Amino acid sequence: MGNPAYAICEYAEEHNMDLIIIGSRGMGEIKSLLLGSISDRVLHLAKCPVLIVR
């Protein structure tokens, strides 16, 4: 399967996407800091703008 954040960013780049819209589960600050989140990784890896919807 691989890394979901990487796969999302790769797909967006291959298909020349202008924007990635992704949801956030709202895990909470501490849990999010410890575990990280896919949406956070996408935000940092993507070469196009990212909109995180909560």
* DSSP SS3 for 22: strand
The total number of structural domains that make up the chain: 1
Report the share of the chain in percent with pLDDT over 90: 61
Give the orientation angle of helix 38-45 with respect to helix 4-14, to 10 degrees: 40
CATH of the domain at 37: 3.40.50.620
Cα 38 to Cα 6: distance, rounded to the nearest angstrom: 9
Distances (CA, A) of 20 to 23, 24, 29, 31: 10, 13, 23, 24
How does residue 37 score in pLDDT terms, banded at 50, 70 and 90? confident
Domain that holds residue 15: 4-53
% of the chain surpassing 70 pLDDT: 89
